[in-house]
Amino acid sequence: MPQMGYDMKEGRLIKWLKGEGDEITTGEDIAEIETDKAIIPMPSPSGGILRKIITPEGEMVPVGTVLGFIGTLEEEIPSNLTSVPVENNNIPENENVTELNTSEPIEEPIIETPKSSSETIKASPVARRIAADKGIDLKLIQGTGPNGRIVEKDVLNYSQPSASPQPVTEAPKVSTTPSNINSEIIELNRMRQAVARTTSASSREAPHFYVTTDIDMTGTMEIRSQVNKALESQGKRVSVNDIIIKACAVALKNHQNFNATFHGDTIEIHPNINIGVAIDLDGSGLIQPCIMSCQNLSLAEISVGTKDLINRARENQLRAEEYIGSTFTISNLGMFDIESFTAIIAPPNCAILAVGSVRQQPVVSDGEITVKQMMKVTLSVDHRANDGAAAARFIGEIKSLLEQPIGLLV
């Protein structure tokens, strides 16, 4: 099949104008070829006798395919002639591209699609580079650039939480070699990486201690059901956690050292009380967005705010400051019927409250055994920022606020 145009790839043999045995001169039309443009008579490339027709009429064949054999009477017809494209013809299927010494290697673009925008930290490339060089976790930095972007000066102005800048020791890498041939190796998603990074940094850098107390929640539960009855017509509900947030907000006003960030040689007391809430994203990860300025919010407002926060967290609609702005965190596993646990402080906070479930328990009170609704809470404290007695006083205030909850409604 001849090439009858620079872009021709195949053609249809419409009609043989000569039959087997016919004598042919060079240039004489021997067949009609249909290209995608037209039907064209095909001149014979050589003279002789059309000894054999290989490609039958009507066949669509690639350029370079043998159509027939022209030769002298004496010539033997090659037995291997078939209606397939001739090998080694000069029409490349794909152009041969010879590698150039001068050309740059073409790298496959690596496109990472974050699962959710909540995993993305907006930081300029140079800010990222400096942060990586200094071992600073970008999550700890408040961006002041356009749209909350962490820019160069934010990283340069950020002082390390440790007394002296230390060479960063990488979190111990777990061998990726499977110990068992049947093991499945799962790549960490971005959120998992972030949790791994921050919790190990916190464990490493912040010396934790813990104080635990039992809180009688009977009064709180009573008030909650009354409030919820009143709110029923509005379709609103206050959760136990909302009340705990409110209690913490009130307590933090009097214990500002727990609404703080440790900076090595200074402690920064935050003017706003932004309480972070650990939210489980249905198994896909953990984030701790915060309710901003809790000191100004009523219980009802906190309740609305929490629900909104959880909804938006699940829909990736959180604002940047809500990811990184928390000043104190509450982690509540009560809904999982966990009695008590200890939590790792989320930097740059200096304390976190771990809340267990509210459960009916026999309690000895005034010499009598009564059944009360009890809840265990454990405060994790960064010892660099606060001592045990201060922690006891702080958790004590939370306890008394929750045991006499009427004050929280005001």
Partner 1 sequence: MAELTLRDAISLGLREAMDNDPRVIIMGEDVGAYNGAYVVTKGFLEEYGESRIIDTPISEAGFVGAGIGAAMAGLKPVVEIMTINFSLMASDQIINNAAKIHYMSGGQYSAPIIIRTVTGGGAGLAATHSQSFEGFYATIPGLKVLTPAFPDDALGLLRTAFKDNNPILYCEHALLYNVRGEIPDDSSFEVPFGKAKTRRNGSDITLVGYGRSVHTALLAAEKLQERNVDAEVIDLRTLRPLDIQTLIESTQKTHRCVVIEETWATGGFGSYVAYEIQKNAFDDLDGPVLHIGGLDVPAPYARNLEIMTIPNEQWILDAVEKEFGL
Partner 2 sequence: MQVLEKTEIQPSELLNLYRDMKIIRLFEEKCSQLYMQGKIRGFLHLYIGEEAIAVGLASALNEDDHIITHYRDHGHALARGLEPRAIMAELCGKATGTSFGRGGSMHIFDASKNFAGGHAIVGGHLPLAAGLALAAKQLNEDRIVVCFFGDGALNQGEFHETMNLASVWKLPVLFFLENNFYGMGSHIDRTFAGGSKVHTIADRYKIPNSRIDGMDVLAVREASIDAIAKIRKTSKPYLLEAVTYRFQGHSMADPVTYRDRDEVDKWRPRDPIALLKEMLLEAGHASEKLIGRLDEEANLTVEDATQFAESSPDPDPNDLTKNIYA
- Return the range that interacts with partner 1 (CB under 8 A); candidates 32-40, 73-81, 146-154, 305-313: 146-154
With CB under 5 to 8 Å by kind, the binding choice for 151 among partner 1, partner 2, none is: partner 1
User: Is 152 a residue that touches partner 1 (CB under 8 A)?
Assistant: yes
Per-residue exposure over 36-69, b if at least 16 CB sit within 10 Å of its own CB, e if not: eeeebebebeeebbbbebbbeeeeebbbbbbbbb
CB of 149 to partner 1, least distance (A): 7
**Is 321 a residue that touches partner 1 (CB under 8 A)?**
no
Site for partner 1 contains 129 (CB under 8 A): yes
Q: Residue 25 interacts with partner 2 (CB under 8 A)?
A: no
What string marks each residue from 59 to 98 as x (binds partner 2 by CB under 8 A) or -? ----xx------------------------xxx------x
26 touches partner 2 (CB under 8 A): yes
Q: How many residues bind partner 2 (CB under 8 A)?
A: 26
Q: Which is nearer to partner 1, 146 or 235 (CB)?
A: 146
Q: Which residues are catalytic?
A: 383
Among 43, 145, 219, 396, binds partner 1 (CB under 8 A): 145
User: Interface with partner 2 includes 334 (CB under 8 A)?
Assistant: no
Quick one: which of 3, 83, 124, 400 contacts partner 1 (CB under 8 A)?
124
Which span sits near partner 1 by CB under 8 A: 143-151, 272-280, 293-301, 365-373?
143-151
Binder to partner 2 among 72, 79, 94, 101 (CB under 8 A)? 101
- Taking contact as CB under 8 A, which single stretch among the options 38-46, 74-82, 118-126, 353-361 is the one that binds partner 2? 38-46
Using the rule CB under 8 A, is 164 a contact of partner 2? no
d(CA 398, CA 249): 9
Please, which residue, 64 or 405, has the CB nearer to partner 2? 64
Q: Is position 47 an interface residue for partner 2 (rule: CB under 8 A)?
A: no
Among positions 15, 23, 25, 27, the unique one binding partner 2 when judged by CB under 8 A: 27
User: Which among partner 2, partner 1, none contacts residue 146 (Cβ within 5 to 8 A by kind)?
Assistant: partner 1
Q: Which residues bind partner 2 (CB under 8 A)?
A: 2-8, 26-27, 35, 37-40, 43, 45, 63-64, 89-91, 98-102
Q: Which residues bind partner 1 (CB under 8 A)?
A: 124-129, 144-146, 149, 151-152
